[in-house]
Structure 1
Amino acid sequence: MSTVLVVHHAPSPRLRRLLEAIETGLAHPELEGISVESVPALATTDDHVLRADGYVFLTPANFGYMSGALKHFFDRTYYTCEGAVSGRPYALCVHGDNDTSGAVTSVEKITTGWALQAVAPAAQITGEPGREELDSVADSAATVAAHLLG
């Protein structure tokens, strides 16, 4: 069984709706054989990262950057996991009030350092997420799982 790790910082109602969409996408019946571990960024450990076969990252855009919680997660796990997670698939979802590009760039620099493989374009959502955005986020998460299933 393959595992998808969802590392998230979802302090607002909008981000919690996006997290629910991610978890819904990963629970699709066609993705049998995938287990999901959804862990807040501040509680995620090296072991979580190393045990997982793929990843979904969810963060707000704060002051043009990823959240401090997600940054702290990467700071704590980067060197321990570097080289051990190369080639694993991931998807990224960023929510902001107006601009998400800096947060996307900051996460993509780290995922490039880990040599992760983006299997969907970064979901960049501003304002209130509608049905289309929630479905897109669910599809991106499901793409990570589908990639693991071959």
Structure 2
Amino acid sequence: MSARKHLLVVAHAPSPNLARLRDAALEGARDAEIKTVETRWKPPLEAGPDDVMAADALLLGTPENLGYMSGALKDFFDRTYYAVIEEKQGLPFAAYIRAGRDGTGTKRAIDSITTGLSWRPIQEPLILQGTFQENFVDQVRDLAQAMAAGLDAGIF
């Protein structure tokens, strides 16, 4: 049997709809067909360098606030950046952005920080734009499931 792998979900969920997206990510990542991946969620204000060091992959979730990521996710990056920069280069990650407008400022900020960390995106950030739609939940669930399945299969 393969060794356990660890997917860390760092998602800011201050509203009911963002909580639904976080829960969908956890549901997708914990699909019964995925056998070797343990998924943990930590709010950004509680997640730290030790959590990142223990992770084999990372899923980030944030609302767009004033054209930027949430302050909580930025705080997570501020507290972890230098502590993990050397040892976690190449860390596979994905992100979803709940954007009221276009999400480009948030995407640009996440891209800038993760590029500095030398993390490896498994896909472009998922931008959930405009008024909340029920299919956002499915999109986040699918992203997390694909990420966990890829980790399970050893693709990343």
State the TM-score bracket (shorter-chain normalisation). Answer: over 0.9
State the Cα distance separating 1:34 from its structure 2 match.
Answer: 0.6
Gaps of 5+ in 1: none
1:4 pairs with 2:7? yes
User: Which residue, 131, 134, 153 being the options, matches 1:130?
Assistant: 134
Q: Are the equivalent residues in 2 in contact too, given 1:89–1:144 (CA < 8 A)?
A: no
Give the structure 1 partner of residue 103 of structure 2.
100
How many aligned positions are there? 149
Q: Deviations over 1:72-91 (max 9, x none)?
A: 00000000000211112111
* Alpha-carbon contact 1:89-1:147 (below 8 Å) kept: no
What fraction of aligned residue pairs are identical, expressed as a percent?
Answer: 37
4+ runs deviating over 4 angstroms? none
CA distance in 1, matches of 2:112, 2:134: 28
Match of 1:90 in 2: 93
Aligned residue number for residue 56 of structure 1: 59
CA gap 1:62/1:94 in 2 versus in 1, 3 angstroms? same
Please tell me the root mean square deviation across aligned C-alpha atoms, in Å: 1.1
2:41 to 38, 43, 47: 38
Q: State how far apart, in whole Å, the 2-side matches of 1:135 and 1:116 are.
A: 25
Among 130, 149, 155, the alignment partner of 1:146 is 149
Q: Where in structure 2 are there 5+ consecutive unaligned residues?
A: none
The aligned residue for residue 15 of structure 1 is 18
- CA shift for structure 1 position 33: 1.0
TM-score (norm 2): 0.90
Give the structure-1-normalised TM-score: 0.94
Give the strand-richer structure, 1 or 2: 1
